Every structure is written in C-alpha cells, then in structure tokens.
Amino acid sequence: MTRRKGGAADRVLRIVAMKKIRWIAIIACLSLSMFFLTKAAISSMVYADDAAATTAEPVDPMAQSALTVFDAVNEQRVAAGLKALEWDADLYPAACLRAQEASVLWSHTRPDGTLFDSAITTQWIWRGENLAWQKGASDADIVPWWMDSPAHHEVMMYAGFTNGAVGTYTCSDGRVFYSLLVVGNK
C-alpha cells in the first residue's frame, strides 16, 4: 500500500515536526540564558539600602522585581508568626524557568507534560509553587492577590517551607509572569 503525499497523515507529521522545532528553539534559548545566569551571580545578590544604592552597580530589574515579591511574601509570613523564607540561590534559575514556561502554558504542569517540581534540581521533601501574571500593575500587587486565594495563601503560609525563590519573566507584550517556588524538609 502506498501513502499519498499531502494526505492528512503528512499534515499531522509536519505540524508535529514544527512544534518539536519550536520547543527545541525555546529549550536552546533557555539553556543559553541559564548558562549566563551563574550560581555565583545569583548567590551574590544582596539587599541594598538607599545609601549604598547610589554607589552600587545597577541591579537587574527582573532580579529586583523578584526580590521585591520575595520580601513581600516574607512580610506576610512574619506577620502571621511564621519564619521568613530563606532565599535559595539554587531555586532561582528554576523559578525563572517556571515563570517563562508559564508564559507559554499557564499551568503548574510544564510544557513538556511534567509537574512544576521537575524544574527543581535540589532534593526537598515538600515543594510548592505559586504563579501570577500582570500587565500594568506592580510587583506589590502580586502578594495580595496570592493572599486572597485560599490555595495560593496555603502555599505561601505553610510552616514546613523554609526556602524559596521568585523568578520573573517579561513577555514582548509587557505581561510579567512570576513564579514563587518554596521548599522544605518538614
């Protein structure tokens, strides 16, 4: 039996091949961006006070945005009598990756079909994720939105989470995506 060229099967194969090429390109871009985002650079991020800010090197706006949201999460935790999360430099690349992936597929499932926690490369017993996006709002609006959502509130306020990181990704249309990854061993 011969197959007709241009049939439905050929169209499906072309579509599948195009999608594979698109995902390969996305993965290549992510790999390249992760290469330049070294662990040492993330580990050296510090909170600058106003006096030091005038003499310090310019801060990456996306990293500053992530720290702003992370600080707001910790304010809520401390106000509720919980320990503040410790910034985890090992989680930061995964949080950035998840923010970018959420811009492609709005879900706690990754575009490759695995769950969000498959992006976390370090070993933790408990893992959680909050996602948000905004356009035209501010970083300060993200945590109140999470606080108003029972499921997101639960992730932020779980006492067993000890470490975390926030990643951000800005789309060409101005939408900003956020991923809060939290982990713990209790």
- pLDDT on residue 12: 38
User: Residue 27 and residue 21: Cα distance in Å, rounded?
Assistant: 10
Residues 6 or more apart in contact with residue 93 via CB below 8 angstroms? 34, 37, 39, 42, 167
- Is residue 39 within 8 Å of 89, Cβ to Cβ? yes
Amino acid identity at 69? V
- pLDDT on residue 56: 36
**pTM recorded for the entire structure:** 0.68
- pLDDT on residue 88: 95
- Taking residue 138's Cβ as centre, other Cβ atoms within 10 Å add up to 10
User: Residue 56 and residue 71: Cα distance in Å, rounded?
Assistant: 20
- Taking residue 139's Cβ as centre, other Cβ atoms within 10 Å add up to 21
Residue at token pair 């091949």: 17
**Buried-exposed string 108-125: b where 16+ CB fall within 10 A, e elsewhere:** eebeeeeebbebbeeebe
**Buried-exposed string 57-80: b where 16+ CB fall within 10 A, e elsewhere:** eeeeeebebbbbbbebbbebbeee
Question: What is the distance, to the nearest Å, from the Cα of residue 169 to the centroid of all Cα atoms in its chain?
Answer: 8
- pLDDT on residue 59: 52
Q: pLDDT by residue for the chain (186 residues), tens digit each? A: 333 444 444 443 344 334 443 443 333 333 333 333 323 333 333 333 333 333 334 356 678 889 999 999 999 999 999 999 999 999 999 999 999 999 999 999 899 999 999 999 888 989 999 999 999 888 889 999 999 999 999 999 999 999 999 999 999 999 999 999 999 996
Dihedral over alpha carbons 44, 45, 49, 53 (to 10 degrees)? 90
How far, CA to CA in Å, does 26 sit from each of 2, 54, 55?
36, 37, 37
